Amino acid sequence: MHLYLENRRDIINPFEINSEMNFGVFYNAYYQRFVRYAFYYVNDLQAAEDLTHDALLYYWENKHKLPADADVLGYILESVKNKCLNYLKHIQVEVEYSKKRTELHDWEITTRIQTLENESYSTIFSKDIMRIVMESLSELPEQTRHIFVLNRLDYKSRKEIATTLGVSQQKVDYHINKANDHLRLKLKDYIPLILLFLN
């Protein structure tokens, strides 16, 4: 999973971020991924976008204060996570004291807060996840597994895979979607962090 993140062509290597980089380039590279992470918990797109914007802007304005070898993704993720926590706790207070009914029930908010508080950035790179991924892939039909590996690990486009294997692109889409559904089911407990790095 970590190698997949580092080799994605559309993600800036955290160690390449420097003072000369345009904020817009940095912002566009990470914005949508952190919005998806925030939205999973706050269940409000506008709030997720605002929280992510604030976290990215805060990092950019304070990056000169961090060590040269700072874990950029971990730092930003922790910032987004804390902002989500504060947002949910604020809603929880409104529910408890004003009895205001929102789309999030009180028990849902409590559960999400507890999950965020217990979540670690390193989880996504843990050996447990890699073990689950490998076991899940081994359970797939051979052709489905082969197409998925070509797409996700060898970074082949769906069109390239279809041409190489002599099958229709619709068939390639079917196998990739089938593999994704299977992995989502097996990795359901890790979905919030995994969503952060998926297209």
Number of domains comprising the chain: 2
Residue 9: band (very low, low, confident or very high) from pLDDT cuts 50, 70, 90 = very low
Is residue 154 in some structural domain? yes
Query: Of the candidates 119, 152, 173, which is a domain's last residue?
Result: 119
Rounded Cα gap, residues 17 and 13, in angstroms: 7
Asked whether residue 129 carries a pLDDT value surpassing 50, the answer given is: yes
pLDDT digits (tens, 9 = 90+) for 57-91: 998 888 888 887 778 888 889 999 999 999 998 88
**Is residue 36 one of the residues assigned to a domain?**
yes
Question: Are 69 and 136 in a shared domain?
Answer: no
In this structure, the answer to whether residues 106 and 18 fall within a common structural domain is yes
Its pTM surpasses 0.85: no
Give the residue-averaged pLDDT of 133-142.
Answer: 86
Same domain, yes or no: 109 and 143:
no
Q: Lowest-confidence range among 35-39, 42-46, 57-61, 194-198? A: 194-198
Domain boundaries, position 176: 127-190
Same domain, 84 and 100: yes
Rounded mean pLDDT of the chain? Answer: 76
Do 89 and 111 fall into the same domain? yes
Residue reference for tokens 């604020």: 90
Q: Kind and range of the H or E element at 103?
A: none
Q: Based on the domain organization, do 28 and 109 belong to the same domain?
A: yes
- Could you tell me the CATH number of the domain that includes residue 156? 1.10.10.10
CB proximity list for 27: less than 8 A, separation 6 or greater: 56, 60
Taking 60 as the threshold, does the pLDDT of residue 2 lie above it?
no
Shared domain for 184 and 141, answered yes or no, is: yes
Give the residue with greater pLDDT, 127 vs 52: 52
